[in-house]
């Protein structure tokens, strides 16, 4: 691996780190938390699709959100779904910048171009 290849890999890692920092502005990081977010969204959609039944015992994350927030189960489900939709928009924006940026790093032939390019991608991620 030549110097430029090593620096490209380092630039791509910096882009990944900047993307994770951008995500952290909107969500709690961690694989367990990611699984919880997915489960909450799944339960919220199922609860809504079932017509917001009075017996919400099959939807423990909805009940937990409602109880913790002092709102109804329906309000909790709707809030979870709205939050998930907002996150989807931000997440896809971050991912597009990250993926394109990492590929862009492969096109640079000099360390100067690489440094300038990675700085631009990180600035884009910082603005999300």
pLDDT in tens, the chain (128 residues): 677 899 999 999 999 999 999 999 999 999 999 999 999 999 999 999 999 999 999 999 999 999 999 999 999 999 999 999 999 999 999 999 999 999 999 999 999 999 999 999 999 999 99
Model pLDDT, residue 105: 97
Q: Tokens 């977010």 label which residue?
A: 37
d(CA 92, CA 115): 25
What six digits make up the tokens of 13?
């890692």
Residue 82: what pLDDT? Answer: 98
SS3 assignment for the chain? CCHHHHHHHHHHHHHHHHHHHHHHCCCCCCHHHHHHHHHHHHHHHHHHHCCCCCCCCCCHHHHHHHHHHCCCHHHHHHHHHHHHHHHHHHHHHHHHHHHHHHHHHCCCCCHHHHHHHHHHHHHHHHCC
- The whole-angstrom separation of Cα 4 and Cα 110 is 7
d(CA 128, CA 44): 27
């Amino acid at each position: 691996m030549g110097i430029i290849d090593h620096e490209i890999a380092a630039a791509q890692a910096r882009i990944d780190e900047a993307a994770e920092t951008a995500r952290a502005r909107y969500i709690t990081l961690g694989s367990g938390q990611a699984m919880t977010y997915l489960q909450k969204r799944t339960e919220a959609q199922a609860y809504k699709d079932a017509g917001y039944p009075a017996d919400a015992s099959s939807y423990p994350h909805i009940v937990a959100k409602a109880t913790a927030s002092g709102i109804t189960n329906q309000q909790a489900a709707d809030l979870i779904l709205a939050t998930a939709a907002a996150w989807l928009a931000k997440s896809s924006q971050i991912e597009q910048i990250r993926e394109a940026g990492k590929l862009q790093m492969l096109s640079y032939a000099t360390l100067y171009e690489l440094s300038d390019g990675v700085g631009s991608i990180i600035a884009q991620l910082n603005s999300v």
